[in-house]
Structure formats: C-alpha cells, structure tokens
Amino acid sequence: MTVTCFIRYEIDPFQREAFRAYAQAWGRIIPRCGGHLVGYFLPSEGTNYEAWGLIAFDSLAAYEAYRARLRTDPEGRANFERAQQQRFIVREQRTFTEVVDGTFARAALQP
C-alpha cells in the first residue's frame, strides 16, 4: 500500500461502545468500497478519549475513488448519520502517511 489514511478520533469516553459499533460497521463497509482496512483501535489504558482508524490505499487516486463509492454506499451513509446523531465523535483528524520501507508488518524475531 502506498498511502495510509491515519484517522485520529476524539471520542466521548462515556459512549465507547457506540464508537465500537461504528468501527465494526466500517469493517464491512471499507473493504467493500475499495479500502484496505488496517484496523480501528480503542483506548485501553491511559487516555480514554482517543481512538484511531487506519485505512490503506494504493494511491491518492484510489482514495478518491473509494470516497466516491463511500458516498453512495447506503450502509456507509447510515453509519456516518448515526455518528452525527449520537455525537460520540467529538473531533476527527485525517493525516495521510507513507510506510517506511522495511518497517511495516514485521514479525517479531524468535530468540
């Protein structure tokens, strides 16, 4: 994958399970619309209001095509609308990153 969209969410910590359901829905929607879902992550220890989503694409053009498909996907639109209605996402930031060669998905060395 050439680019990864790194999404940082500030979530309402009292609506953690609503965000979990939102993220799980993307597990079906994103691949169907053409993104490679790396994963969604909820806070475990420490900060209780930051969550992350990572979605990889072959290019920025592939990302734009994905966004166009996403806008017409009924389940995707419903998921966005649910987030707006329930207000469990306080803030969202998107950053596009590239992987450093030789560092992604490396297995641990066995002793």
- The domain ranges of the chain are 3-97
Q: Is the pLDDT of residue 72 over 90?
A: yes
Beta bridge partners of 93: 8
Is residue 103 very low, low, confident or very high in pLDDT (cuts 50, 70, 90)?
confident
CB 88 within 8 Å of CB 20: no
Q: Is the pLDDT of residue 105 over 90?
A: no
What mean pLDDT is predicted for residues 88-111? 86
Cα pseudo-dihedral 53, 85, 74, 59, rounded to 10 = -30
At residue 85, the 3 state secondary structure works out as helix
- Residue 23 tokens read as 């993220």
Is residue 69 very low, low, confident or very high in pLDDT (cuts 50, 70, 90)?
very high
Give the C-alpha separation, 80 to 44, whole Å. 24
- Residue 14 tokens read as 């009292």
- Which of these CATH numbers, 3.40.1350.10, 3.90.280.10, 3.30.70.100, 3.30.720.110, describes 3-97? 3.30.70.100
